Amino acid sequence: MTILDKVAGYPVLDETCRLADGRTARAAIQKWHDVRLRSTHGILIALDMESLDQMRRIVEQTTVVEGVVGYKVGLTATLRLGLGGAVARLRSVTDLPLIYDHQKAGPDVPDMAPKFSATCKEAGVDGLILFPIAGPRAVVEFVGSAYSNRLLPIVGGDLPFPDYNASGGGYVVDDALDKIFRKAIEIGTDHFVIPGNTAAKVAHHAGWLVEKIERPALFIPGIGALGGSIGSTFSAAPGCDLYAVVGRAIYDAVDPAEAARRLGAEALRFV
């Protein structure tokens, strides 16, 4: 069982949420959200194309493909239709989870978190990609608000290109993702976004996450055009559930369904 934080009203971990070895138990966290992915490994298709008709066609062609576990909905659809309209258009052709990527939710004042999560729940999405780089309060508020609305929070804070972090000339400190993850784990996060343009980054985070959580789930963008591969990144994360976030390699393919089948089969080889 869980204890409700009397101040925030968010579910928080207690000792009954832990395994005998001290790691967070997956079954405890699953009680806080309604998403059940249909396999432990697979692909999440990123619907980042500009055409709404193409977006719907891709979903129609791939929703029954083995290895496809859901869809990432971004700004191209929501700016045209509104989030509720985009979800309604997709929900008519799939019952797989729809994960909303606000690009990027989380780097905002923490007080916005309850409003954001409630609006997303009303629109009908199943989960949220969150980049709470605004600090520890943002992590707590955005993750907690997601759980309060029975949405799955998928927490990240890094992007798959070299000049994002300070060491590559960017503005985000190199260990920001470690800090975000450590805070997120304290409040029950077990689904994460880790860039896959280098297998070393996946291995680094997977290596310590499995010591804290029973089978953490990792969503890995950067596959294909940005340099990563399913084989190298999945091999770097034993003990995790793994999902490649793939967009252009599917929706720009001559045969999107066949591309999804190929990538899905590659991911499922690691089950």
For the chain, residues with pLDDT lower than 70 are 1-8, 225-226
CA dihedral 125, 131, 135, 138 (to 10 degrees): 0
CA dihedral 25, 30, 33, 34 (to 10 degrees): 160
- Do the bridges between strand 217-220 and strand 68-73 make them parallel or antiparallel, or are there none, so unpaired? unpaired
Measured between alpha carbons, how far is 80 from 215 in angstroms, rounded to an integer? 37
Domains of the chain: 3-268 (3.20.20.70)
Question: Angle at Cα 39 formed by Cα 14 and Cα 3, nearest 5°?
Answer: 15
Measured between alpha carbons, how far is 89 from 109 in angstroms, rounded to an integer? 31
Altogether, the residues listed in the chain come to a count of: 271
Measured between alpha carbons, how far is 84 from 127 in angstroms, rounded to an integer? 14
What is the pTM (predicted TM-score) of this model?
0.95
Token pair, residue 225, equals: 């055009």
pLDDT recorded at residue 109: 86
Tokens 């194309």 identify what position? 49
Residues contacting residue 250 through CB under 8 Å, at least 6 positions apart: 43, 45, 58, 62, 256, 259, 260, 263
Question: Angle at Cα 36 formed by Cα 32 and Cα 38, nearest 5°?
Answer: 165
Would you call 81 helix, strand, or coil by DSSP?
A: helix
pLDDT recorded at residue 8: 61
- The overall longest dimension of the chain from CA atoms, in Å, is 54
Summarize pLDDT for 114-146 with one digit per residue, the tens.
999 999 999 999 999 999 999 999 999 999 999
- Burial tier of 107 (Cβ tally within 10 Å: 0-12, 13-18, 19+): middle
pLDDT recorded at residue 106: 85
Alpha-helical segments (H) within the chain: 26-30, 52-62, 75-91, 113-123, 136-148, 176-186, 199-209, 230-235, 248-251, 256-268
